Amino acid sequence: MNVLIIEDEKALAQELEIFLTNYNYICEVCYDGASASEKIATNLYDFILIDLGLPDYDGLDLLKELKKSGSDAACIILTARTEIDDRIKGLDLGADDYLPKPFSLLELQSRMQAIIRRKFGVKNNIMDLDGFLIDLTNRTISYGTSAVNTITKKEFDLIAYLILHKNRTLTRMQLSEHIWGSVVNNDYDSNYIDAHIKNIRKKLNAFAPPDWLETVRGLGYKIKINA
């Protein structure tokens, strides 16, 4: 997948590039609006990540140009500007998602995956983990012929996030940011992730021990999938 990163903060643009390249995206980076405008006009992309606060360009104008050119690239707006009207304007102009800074790279990847599922209609989205069939599209889990329906929404969110970033250790911080991201919270503790994981293990254990859900001592959790 081709990604165009339009971000004037070079350090951030580089990190985005490193991260997405790791996830097998092909990245191009622009640090200003003018060159981005040129690239949009000449190349085809699957994803465009736009920072709204560019020094020479209004990010929303770039979005308009993109839509005018007839590109069907998915757009994600990255911005430190969180004014409500920007959000509405961005989504009206056809941005597919909106990620306020500071965001986690893992969250970006998760949003991109969601867009891919939506836009390209990924059908075969069922993971088989030692007999547990996890359907990421319909958000269900089953073991053999029986459905595991004790799993709550939050617990499924955690499992799906760990699967999306499979074989990678996710810290409690990253996990809690994903499942409690919309709450502006007074505290920064993430101990409740442990309670969630404990519950998940207990519920799955009724069918079979979920050894694929690993605790990484002192760091966090990961789901191991041998591809």
Partner 1 sequence: MKLGTKLTLFNTISKLVIVVLFVLLVPVLIKNISSNYVDSKLIKQKNKLLQIVKSQGIETYIVNGEAYGSYLPLKDEYISLDEVDPKYFLDTIQRGKRLFSEGDTLEYRILSHTFKVKNKNYLLEIGKSVDTLDETSIPLQNIAFEVLLGMILLTVLADQIYSTYVLKPLRIIIKTKLVGQKFPNFQSYRKVRTTTSDFEHLDLSIHKMVETIADKFHKEREFISNASHELMTPISILQSKIENMFEEEDVNDELKVRLLEMQKILNRLKSITKTLLLISQIENEQFLKEDKVSVSELLQDVYDEISIRLQDKNIDYEMNVPDNWYMVNINKFLLFNLFFNLINNAIKYNREGGSISITAVAVHDKFVISITDTGIGIDAEALPFIFNRFKKFRQSLQQDSFGLGLPIVKSIAGFHDIEIDVSSEKDVGSTFKLILPAMLIVVD
| Cβ-contact 128, 107 below 8 angstroms | no
> Which residue ranges make up the site for partner 1 (CB under 8 A)?
9, 11-12, 15-16, 18-19, 22, 80-84, 100-106, 152-154, 168-169, 171, 173-174, 177, 180, 182-189, 191-192, 195-196, 199, 218-220
Taking the least distance from each CB to partner 1, the nearer of 188 and 211 is: 188
What minimum distance in Å lies between the beta carbon of 2 and partner 1? Answer: 20
User: What minimum distance in Å lies between the beta carbon of 16 and partner 1?
Assistant: 7
By the 8 A CB rule, do 30 and 16 touch?
A: no
Nearer to partner 1, 4 or 52 (CB): 52
Tokens of 118: 């939506």
Residue 159: name the closest of 186, 122, 197 by CA.
197
Contact, 12 vs 25, CB < 8 A?
no
How far, in Å, CA of 97 to CA of 190, rounded?
26
Least distance to partner 1 from the beta carbon of 31, Å? 14
Residues 6+ apart with CB under 8 A from 99: 76, 77, 78, 79, 107, 108, 111
Measured from the CB atom, the residue of 27 and 40 that comes closer to partner 1 is 27
Instruction: Report the residue number, 40 or 57, with the smaller CB distance to partner 1.
Output: 57
Q: Cβ 71 to partner 1, closest distance in Å?
A: 26
